[in-house]
A = this chain, B = another copy of it.
Amino acid sequence: MSATHTDVPVDGPAEQDCSIRDVLDRVGDKWSALIVLRLSDGPRRFSELHREVDGISQRMLTLTLRALERDGLLSRTVYPTVPPRVDYELTDLGRTLLTPIAALREWAVAHRDDIRRARARHDHPTSDPHASPAPAS
């Protein structure tokens, strides 16, 4: 990633691009944002996340949680009981991330239909805008 990464002195568009590049590499993956959102209303156990984050594999759940923990976005608490229990919870830093991610989600909810329409329009450019566009995906 940051191969040519010398110390940029101050701000400027390059600096900001670089920052958002980092963030996208971090939470722009397939699962991080979803997990962070799941954790927004309190801690979760591994198996709870596995059930609630739809479609995620055990492997990716582990990997993503580890990465988020590494970046200080969530904390991992192991209870040495049997059977074992592990709780994941957003840190203060992780909670600050909640704001922009929630903004993204709200945008998604608000404009998903716009995008679907635009896509349909682009994909089969029938001259009839009233033709049923969404075959119930």
Contacts and interface: CB of A to CB of B under 8 A. Distances in A.
Contacts of A121: 72
A119 B71 contact: yes
Given A118-B71, A118-B72, A123-B70, A105 B16 contact: yes
A123 B26 CA distance: 16
Nearest to A15: B109
Interface size range on A against B: 35 or more
Contacts of A106: 100
A116 to B, nearest CB: 9
Contacts of A11: 109
B37 A115 contact: no
A112 to B, nearest CB: 5
A23 B7 CA distance: 32
Interface of A: 1, 3, 7, 11, 13-17, 19-24, 26, 28-30, 33-34, 37-38, 41-42, 48, 52-54, 69-73, 93, 96-97, 99-101, 103-112, 114-115, 117-119, 121-123, 136
